[in-house]
Structure 1
Amino acid sequence: MSDATYTAPPPAPFRVRWWQPLLFWVIVNAWGFVERGGQPFPGHQPSPLQPPGWAFPVMWFTLNVFQIWGDIRLLDPARRIRSRGLLIGLQAVTWAIYATFSLVYFTLGSSILAAAWTVSFFIITSLCIALVARDDRRIALIWTPLILWTGFASVVGIHNALINPDPLFGTPALWG
C-alpha cells in the first residue's frame, strides 16, 4: 500500500473541431435552406426601411460567424464567466429564434410574429452582452454586431407589422 496522495490529471484543453460549428450552423439553418424566403403572403408590402433582399443572407452569415465565435469562447471552461449557465441558456433561445424565423415569417406569413422574434432576439442579445461584459469584454465585442443589426431590424420588423395585415392572426394593417 502506498501513502501517495492521488491527484487528478489536469483537464484536457478545450478544443473545438472545425466541423462542429459548421454542423451546428447547418442545423440552425435547416429550415431556411428549405424555405427560400420569398414573399410571406400575397400582397405583402415590404417596409421602405428594409434593406435589399441580397443583404440578408450576407449579413446573417456574418452574424452567425460572430455569434458562434462568441459562443465557443463562452463554452470554454478555462474562461471565468459568472452566469455562464444563464448565458448559455439565453444563447440557446436566440438560436431557437433564429432557426424558426423563416418558419414564422415566410411559412406562416406572420409579420407580427416576425417582429416579435426580431425584438426578442435584440433584447436577449443585449442582455447577454451586458452580462458577459463584466467578465469577458471580447465576447461582448464579438456579439456587438448582433445588437446593431437586430436593433435596426426590430425597427424594420415593427414597421413591417404595422403596414401589413397578418394572415396568421387575421389582423388588418394598422398603419398606412
Structure 2
Amino acid sequence: MKKPWKPLVLSLLLALAAGALGALLGGGMQSYEGMEMPPLSPPGWVFPVVWTLLYLMMGLAAWRVWALHGVREARASALRLYALQLAVNALWPGLFFGLELYWAAAVWLALLLALAVCTAARFRRLDDAAGLLLAPYALWCAFALYLNLGAAALN
C-alpha cells in the first residue's frame, strides 16, 4: 500500500534537519544576547520560532515541486537549487556564531539570499504556491543579512 504522505514528511524532515545542523554548527545563540545589534533586532527567542516555521514552509514547497508531473528536468533542476541553498543555509550559523566571522558570514548570507530568491523564482515557475511559500524565507534572509551586517559593524 502506498503512503502518499511519506514524501511530504521526508521533505519536512530534510528541511528541519538542515536547521538542526545549522544549530549544531552554530553552537547556540548565547553570544547573540551579549552582542551590540542594530535597530529592529528581535530578542533571541524569536529566531528558533521563525526559523522552524520557515523550514516547514520550505519543506512543503519542495514537496510540492517534487510531486509535480510532466516537468521532470525542470523539477530536478529546481530541487538541486533548493538543496544547494539548504546546504548554504545550514553552514551560516557556524560562520556567525561558531567561528564569529561576522563579515564572512555576511558574504555567505548574501549568497544565501541570492539563492533563496532564485529558488523561490524557480519554484514559482513550476508551482505558484511553492514559490510563494519561499517568499517569507527570502524576506527573512534579507532581514538576517541586515542584522548580520549590523552585528559585523558594531562588534
- Same fold? TM cut 0.5: yes
Structure with the bigger percentage of helix: 2
Task: Flag structure 1 segments of 5+ consecutive residues without an equivalent.
Answer: 1-11, 165-176
Q: Does 1:15 align with 2:4?
A: yes
Check conservation: 1:37, 1:102, Cα contact below 8 A. Answer: no
Please point out which of 12, 29, 33 is paired with 1:37. Answer: 29
Q: 1:137 to 1:81 in 2, by over 3 A?
A: farther
Alpha-carbon distance change, 127 to 81 in structure 1, aligned in 2, over 3 angstroms: farther
Deviation at 1:56, TM superposition (A): 0.3
CA offset at residue 112 of structure 1?
1.3
Tell me, in whole angstroms, the C-alpha distance in 2 between the residues paired with 1:52 and 1:79: 45
Count of residues in correspondence between the two structures: 151
How far, CA to CA, are the matches of 1:151 and 1:78 in structure 2? 32
Q: In structure 2, what residue type is equivalent to 1:62?
A: L
Q: Which of structures 1 and 2 has the bigger CA Rg?
A: 1
The verdict on how the C-alpha distance between 1:80 and 1:56 changes in structure 2, with shifts beyond 3 A counting, is same
Q: TM-score, normalised by structure 2?
A: 0.81
User: Which residue does the alignment assign to 1:95?
Assistant: 86
Q: Write out per-residue CA displacement over residues 78-106 of structure 1, whole angstroms, 9 at most, x where no aligned residue.
A: 26376323221221122112222221111
Residue type of the partner of 2:4? R
Sequence identity percentage = 24
Please say which of residues 96-105 and 44-53 is displaced more in the overlay: 44-53
Alignment correspondent of 2:106: 115
TM-score by length of 1: 0.72
Q: Which amino acid aligns with 1:91?
A: Y
Output the amino acid matched with 1:15: P
Q: Tell me, which stretches of 5 or more residues in structure 2 are unaligned?
A: none
Q: Could you tell me whether the CA contact under 8 Å between 1:115 and 1:158 is conserved in 2?
A: yes
Q: CA RMSD in A?
A: 2.7
CA contact (8 A) 1:21 1:68 kept: yes
Residue 25 of structure 1 deviates from its aligned partner by 4.3
Equivalent of 2:17, from 18, 27, 32? 27
Q: CA deviation at 1:44?
A: 4.1
Which residue number corresponds to residue 128 of structure 1?
A: 119
